[in-house]
Amino acid sequence: MHPSAVWNGAAIAALVLSLLSLLLLLGLGVLGLLVSLLVFTPLAVVFSIIAGIQVARRGQRGMGLAVMGFLLALPGWLITAFLLW
């Protein structure tokens, strides 16, 4: 990776979306839970996967952001699985 490599925008978006998902999940009751589980968590996972692929192929920076975005979205997936089961 080149020292001046560009940060991947999808990785940044994944991290921001997963943090928003956690904040909504923990703080805004039923409406926050629904918005978090139906909007922010799936988007965070999709952006994390896209970012991981792009970072590997293009030599960009942001693999850690993509991984953290994915890991921080996991509580949303676990809660969704628990509620649907």
DSSP summary character for residue 59: T
Q: What is the mean pLDDT of residues 17-27?
A: 86
Report which of residues 23 and 64 the model is more confident about: 64
Nearest residue to 15 (alpha-carbon basis) of 55, 60, 54, 71 = 71
Q: What is the SS3 assignment for 7? A: strand
**pLDDT given at position 4:** 66
pLDDT at position 1 over 70: no
Q: Using one digit for the tens of pLDDT, what is the confidence trace for 25-68?
A: 777 777 777 888 888 899 999 999 999 999 999 989 999 999 99
Q: At what angle do helices 63-84 and 41-58 cross, to 10 degrees?
A: 150
**How many CA within 13 A on the CB side of residue 14?**
29
**pLDDT given at position 31:** 78
Q: Confidence band (pLDDT; 50, 70, 90) for 22?
A: confident
pLDDT at position 13 over 90: yes
Ramachandran area for residue 42 (φ above 0: left; ψ -120 to 50: alpha; else beta): alpha
